Amino acid sequence: MNSTANTTPSTAEQRERFAFSLFLAGAIHALLIFGVAFATPEGRQAAPTLEVTLSQYNSPQAPEDADYLAQHNQQASGTADTPKELSSNRRAEFADTQIHDVNPLPQQQAARPADQRRQLITTIGNSPLQAPELPAEEKLSDEKRGDAPNDLAKTNPKIASLQARLDKIRQTIAQRPRVRRLTSVATKASADAAYLHDWRQKVEAVGSDNFPEEALQQKITGSLRMMVRLLPTGAVEEVIILNSSGERILDDAAQQIVRLAAPFAPFPAEIRKEADRLEIIRTWRFEMTGFSTTAGELPERG
């Protein structure tokens, strides 16, 4: 009985062991909680990008500050402030940083110097000599030479495109009518002066007979500057008011007078040779004393 009591631990010792174990477990957990710190991961930096291009020629000296990566060293050229990528699909035949004026390429020769020395000998007599026949290769080269282009426009698409544009511009200009403008300065030629004199007399006669009644009743006066474009037959093609009188009644009356006076006399032969249209610019004056047209400018409005 006594041996059994001695081997069995007492209740007090068990409590002490339990308290020590509990304390040891709490200390370990506290150490884990307060001793280990958690930090948020730093933002990942983006991988650096590489700008790659294709060099058109190989420079013996590498540039100090390269803008792109390429298969060869290439010195930069051009006048731009910022680096530019390759913008042409053609390979450069040589490297140069300057633009030079060049002479146009000579036209392709249609015949070889040896061919130019050939001469055709004709005779009416019989001769025992016979002309040797050309070799087959030379005949073939002559046939190819006859079909070969003799100008750069057929071999260079850019030149052909420019020539086509120039031809179109020339055609457009050629189709435009030749316009002659008659003003106070353009009356030196006798034919122009005579035609303008007759035109003015007819316009002023019609204008005096068709002075706007409303303007007379309200005593509205004023001046306007108007352009009348005539066809070779004397018909009116267009009427444009360049400077308004400020009164709708007078502007409408001036245009109506032109339509009533039309058609005018056909162009004389001297004018037809140099012009397809006549533009007559005059100042139209509506005053209480009557109607008139002058070549002068509009008076300043007070």
- How do the pLDDT tens digits run along the chain, 302 residues long? 454 445 455 777 888 888 888 888 888 887 777 766 656 555 556 555 555 555 555 666 666 666 665 656 666 655 455 565 555 555 555 555 555 555 555 555 444 555 555 555 555 666 666 666 655 555 555 555 544 445 555 566 767 677 777 776 766 655 577 888 877 544 455 788 889 999 999 999 999 999 999 999 999 999 999 999 999 999 999 999 999 999 999 999 999 999 999 999 999 999 899 899 999 999 999 999 999 998 866 655 54
Task: Report the pLDDT value the prediction gives residue 234, as an integer from 0 to 100.
Answer: 95
Do 281 and 221 contact (CB within 8 A), yes or no?
no
Q: Residue ranges of the alpha helices (H) in the chain?
A: 2-7, 11-35, 113-116, 136-147, 157-175, 190-209, 213-218, 248-261, 269-272
- What pLDDT sits at residue 226? 95
The sign of the dihedral angle between the CA atoms of 105, 107, 108, 112 is negative
Per-residue model confidence (pLDDT) at position 61? 66
How many other C-beta atoms lie within 10 A of the C-beta of residue 200? Answer: 16
- Sequence-distant (≥ 6) Cβ neighbours of residue 135 within 8 angstroms: none
Crossing angle for the helix pair 248-261 and 190-209, to the nearest 10 degrees: 120
**Beta-strand relationship, 236-243 and 222-230:** antiparallel
Long-range pairs, 231-239, Cβ under 8 A, ≥24:
231/277, 232/266, 232/267, 232/272, 232/276, 232/277, 233/263, 233/266, 234/262, 234/263, 234/264, 234/265, 234/266, 234/267, 235/262, 235/263, 235/264, 236/262, 236/263, 236/264, 237/277
Confidence at residue 180, expressed as pLDDT on a 0 to 100 scale: 82
Supply the pLDDT for residue 205. 95
CB 208 within 8 A of CB 284: no
Structural domains present in the chain = 179-294 (3.30.2420.10)
Reported as type and span, the H/E element at residue 282 is strand 277-287
DSSP 299: P
DSSP lists the bridge partners of residue 290 as 287
pLDDT, position 19: 82
- 221-254 in b/e form (b: 16+ CB < 10 A) is ebbbbbebbbbeeeebeeeeeeebbebebbbebb
